[in-house]
Amino acid sequence: MSGVVLQETTLRSATAEVVLGHGRRFCLIGERINPTGRRIFQEQLRAGDMSAIERDVIAQVEGGADVLDINMGVPLTDEPELLAKAIVMVQGLTDRPICIDSSVVEALEAGLDAYQGRALVNSVTAEDDRMALILPLVKKYDAAIVALPNDAEEIPMEADRRLELVGHIVEVVTKEYGIALSDIVIDPLAMPIGADTSVVETTLDTMRRIRDTYGLNMTCGASNVSFGMPARRLISDVFLDLCVLAGQDSGIIDPVAADVARAIDPDRDTVGYRLAAALLTGEDAFGVEFIEAYRAGTLTPATSTGVPVT
């Protein structure tokens, strides 16, 4: 890592500032203001009822969230209008900076226009046409961007290819659009471990190499890795510990449900923790021991619930 400058990414609300950086406290990005998979929340939003947003804001701030992710992707609604309205509402409730989360360019622009501060935009891929649509908005509104190393052809399963796409993102963002390197936050792609236990090491290797090659800050959805597995919260929490050790300095997670450690803590050396760590590091091939322990009820009671980190 000789000669690599570790970057710091600054986000702001109208009155507060949060800095992502490898030498700083882990930044917790609260993910709860998102209707995906929440049928009742979607129905409420279609009916113009935004009371659940207020409850989620309060719960996440109390849970320690540093930044709040807002996604208003509800079918059969005007997403740009809804996202802008939600952002204004959230800013009236808290001074936490906001991560504006949408795949709809018009919604991103409406959200950025409504936001008072310096936002994080979630997200862009390595596809040139997507970058051409989103990066001008990032530049115009002086925002930072979450970028994913995948393109139209694939989600790469090899760290080498992910690093290649990170390099392409860096080249386009900094040289073609004049956006600072420090304003790029990489999501190195956390894939479900249920289908292939090697995906975790690929993600961790990608993280280490991004840090050592570019010094970029990183984030990801920790719960993605546990999709389809039992005891999801336990797996996601231990995965987050491993990511911190590999260089991840922020995470998009549920601060109400997650047990956010800053790194692996010997005091957490419980049966469940050790089994989850073995699963995630590939020591427990195919998760046989973990699943057997779950079925036998021998995982640590406090952390073995099947409640997903959503």
Q: Are 238 and 277 spatial neighbours (Cβ–Cβ below 8 Å)?
A: yes
For residue 180, what is the DSSP state? -
Residue spans per domain, the chain: 8-231+238-256
Rounded distance, CA 226 to CA 234, Å?
Answer: 9
pLDDT tens-digit readout, 72-91: 999 999 999 999 999 999 99
Q: What is the DSSP annotation of 32-71?
A: EE--TT-HHHHHHHHTT--HHHHHHHHHHHHTT-SEEEEE
**Bridge-based pairing state of the strands 98-101 and 67-71:** parallel
Q: Are 124 and 148 spatial neighbours (Cβ–Cβ below 8 Å)?
A: yes
Quick one: pLDDT at residue 87? 98
pLDDT band (50, 70, 90) for residue 177: very high
Q: How many helices (H) and strands (E) does the chain have?
A: 10, 10
| Phi/psi-derived region of residue 247, left when phi > 0, alpha when psi is between -120 and 50, beta in every other case | left
Structure tokens at 109: 């622009």
- What residue has token string 């409504």? 114
Rounded distance, CA 165 to CA 107, Å?
Answer: 26
pLDDT tens-digit readout, 33-52: 999 989 999 999 999 999 99
Quick one: pLDDT at residue 160? 97
Q: What is 8-231+238-256's CATH superfamily?
A: Dihydropteroate synthase-like (3.20.20.20)
Structure tokens at 213: 């090659």
For residue 115, what is the DSSP state? -
List the single range of 45-59, 101-115, 295-309 with lowest mean pLDDT. 295-309
Q: Is the pTM of this model over 0.75?
A: yes
